Structure 1
């Protein structure tokens, strides 16, 4: 599809959101199993969705925070291949983290920890800014033109 054509395709947008959400949770699970799985006896969804696990007072909490930050960096890479446009990165990132907030509220209640909010808003900023930067670099690459037609 050419960048100049503006076709409204809601199925494509929904598919991109679902893919981005799934890839985010996949990478979060990988980083949680590496950084937190070695510290706890049993991994569960608590480390994904409960705001109480995101704290700076335990080593496990630091592992959860590091996993969220690393997943945010990986999410920026996913934006380059799924969204491909710098001007759409903030929209997709905000959608990703709003859906994550809804799932966290459904799982463990409203996040009352300031640490949870700081970590997730910082993760949103990392994903959006790094994703926009990487998408802009990709958009500004020169188009190779072959000499022989």
Structure 2
């Protein structure tokens, strides 16, 4: 199944943490593409440093909940502590979309409920997949255009 994963970090050594997360993802999945790194301002939460963000596309046969648990395991291995909602983090791995799975359970929400509002997801995703389509909201290029227009 095609997995779209958003990566972000803003404390410790963010670039190194993302590189380490990608290395661990390569061990667990078949990485198809990785975007460039983007520096972005934090969204919500307390005052904190800017983030380094990227998006990866991978193939996996894992069930969606197992894939999400694998991402959480990588976060934990890289020192992620879930203490402050939208707070600073050593690494953040969000499962944006997994195949054509739609889920709104407490443990697994797919596609990611705010992906269509996040430039730091849409821009790197579009870079590596120009025909990308967010299941619940449409083409990523159109979503990004609308978001950029709303920021003006």
TM-score range, shorter chain: 0.3 to 0.5
Q: Counting strand residues as a fraction of each chain, which structure ranks higher?
A: 2
Larger CA Rg, structure 1 vs 2: 1
TM-score normalised per structure 1: 0.33
Q: Counting helix residues as a fraction of each chain, which structure ranks higher?
A: 1
